[in-house]
Amino acid sequence: MHGKLIGKWFTVILLSYAITSLSLFAAEPPEIAAKSYLLIDYNSQVVLASKNADKRIELASITKLMTAYVLYKELEKGNVSKNDVVLISEKAWRMKGSRMFVEANKKVPFERLMNGLIIQSGNDAAVALAEHAYGTEASFVSRMNSEAKRLGMTNTHFTNATGWPDKNHYSTANDIARLTRTVISEYPKHYKEYKIKEYSYNGIKQYNRNKLLWLDPTVDGVKTGHTESAGYCLVSSAKRNGMRLISVVIGTDTVKERSFASQQLLEYGYQFFETNKVYAANHALEEIRIWKGEKEKVAVGFIDDFYVTVAKGSYSSLKGNISYESGIDAPIYRGDKLGKVVLKNAQDKVVLEAPLEALETVTGGGLWRKVTDGVQKVFH
């Protein structure tokens, strides 16, 4: 697929060039007392605020997001079942830190352990579930690292299923946000469990450590973490008027500070930004000429819904440019990148670039089509 780029300016559907009276620039993000942090929009994946987002940090119990994600995969495959009963090993029983207080050599329903993992952040539950799914925690951790690699978490490595401190157990705010977004998008039914505020097992009632669940009704997750070396950490997500944000705060000094810092980031995002769906998935923006195929044109657009996040009040000023390759030969496969869309604001600054994708597959044509198109292409 080679050829010169052809550009075409257009006004984004449902938008105009009118500049609103509101500011086109967002305010500066708040000062956050944390080692690193990140705020992104869930749909557009645009970064709204960040500090040291690619710096290696200790995961602590945020690790259990990946532990749960791997277990969701095993449930989906049928390798484990929510109706399973899990035999608790002595290793699981002896785990220190946050626990749901299971007893060695007792059998506990799989679902109860999942609740203990997510709501109570139980280290004993994490080890018991890992052993149940993969035989040993080490084998389970190998799968965690495989999933991290597959998801593009390039600065993450796990050595256990709990988040217990280890110099080779680390991640970054960016990677954590990527994992969080994946959990929410791929397993929305399971994600609902992250907003449960309390859970009882073995006669002991424990509360979700994410205090934002009590302070902000729009917050519906996600996960806390703490060790002396990592500090207090919190991954949070909220949804207001259809706009979901994900916040990652790493390394504050107290529980109160991690909650306050997370709330500050969320309030900043909702006050100064807006997210809109520019195009629906599979909506054809253009049909472009291709050569030597079963048909002469291929529809291009976006395989997934296309969102943009901008400063509040600036959405109506956006304009877009489609550029695509000419001289493209079949075959073309759905999802092939054939050009790009660039959105600019009223100051002619690029807001977002996104690849223009083939919305259909076009196979190669017969011999006659190849010969005639080959001749026409020379003079095109």
In the predicted structure, residue 9 carries a pLDDT above the cut 60: no
Confidence at residue 18, expressed as pLDDT on a 0 to 100 scale: 24
Active site residues: 61, 64, 121
Q: Range with the lowest mean pLDDT among 4-13, 209-218, 316-325, 326-335?
A: 4-13
Instruction: Tell me the mean pLDDT in the region 171-177.
Output: 97
What's the maximum distance between 2 C-alpha atoms anywhere in the chain?
Answer: 82
In the predicted structure, residue 12 carries a pLDDT above the cut 90: no
In the predicted structure, residue 16 carries a pLDDT above the cut 70: no
pLDDT above 70 covers what percent of the chain? 89
Token pair 């044509």 is found at 365
- 171 burial (CB, 10 Å; 0-12 / 13-18 / 19+) is buried
Q: Which residues are annotated as a binding site for substrate?
A: 223
Confidence at residue 24, expressed as pLDDT on a 0 to 100 scale: 40
Q: Contact, 356 vs 338, CB < 8 A? A: yes
In the predicted structure, residue 23 carries a pLDDT above the cut 50: no
Confidence at residue 2, expressed as pLDDT on a 0 to 100 scale: 38
Rg of the chain on CA atoms, in Å: 25
User: In this predicted model, what pLDDT tens digit does every residue of 304-348 receive, in sequence order?
Assistant: 999 999 999 889 899 988 888 777 887 989 999 999 999 998 888
Of 66-75, 198-207, 349-358, the range with the highest mean pLDDT is 66-75
Decide the pairing of beta strands 5-10 and 319-325: antiparallel
Instruction: Tell me the mean pLDDT in the region 43-54.
Output: 96
In the predicted structure, residue 298 carries a pLDDT above the cut 70: yes
Tell me what the pLDDT averaged over the chain comes to.
89
How far apart CA 169 and CA 292 sit, in angstroms, is 52
How far apart CA 249 and CA 53 sit, in angstroms, is 10
Q: Range with the lowest mean pLDDT among 176-190, 261-275, 284-298, 362-376?
A: 362-376
Q: How confident is the model at residue 32 (pLDDT cuts 50, 70, 90)?
A: very high
In the predicted structure, residue 78 carries a pLDDT above the cut 80: yes
Confidence at residue 15, expressed as pLDDT on a 0 to 100 scale: 28
- Tell me the domains of the chain and their CATH numbers: 5-20+278-379 (2.60.410.10), 36-252 (3.40.710.10)
Q: Range with the lowest mean pLDDT among 95-104, 216-225, 358-367?
A: 358-367
Q: Range with the lowest mean pLDDT among 13-27, 70-84, 137-151, 238-252?
A: 13-27
Instruction: Tell me the mean pLDDT in the region 94-113.
Output: 96
Confidence at residue 19, expressed as pLDDT on a 0 to 100 scale: 25
Enter the tokens of residue 227.
């060790």
Q: How confident is the model at residue 57 (pLDDT cuts 50, 70, 90)?
A: very high
Instruction: Tell me the mean pLDDT in the region 43-50.
Output: 95
In the predicted structure, residue 362 carries a pLDDT above the cut 50: yes
Nearest by Cα to 69 from 180, 206, 155, 235: 180
Peptide bond into 331 cis (omega under 30): yes
Nearest by Cα to 173 from 32, 44, 57, 257: 57
Task: Please list the residues that pair with 306 across neighbouring strands.
Answer: 279
pLDDT above 90 covers what percent of the chain? 75
In the predicted structure, residue 373 carries a pLDDT above the cut 70: no
Q: How confident is the model at residue 271 (pLDDT cuts 50, 70, 90)?
A: very high
Instruction: Tell me the mean pLDDT in the region 122-136.
Output: 98
How far apart CA 177 and CA 60 sit, in angstroms, is 15
Q: How confident is the model at residue 378 (pLDDT cuts 50, 70, 90)?
A: low
Confidence at residue 294, expressed as pLDDT on a 0 to 100 scale: 86
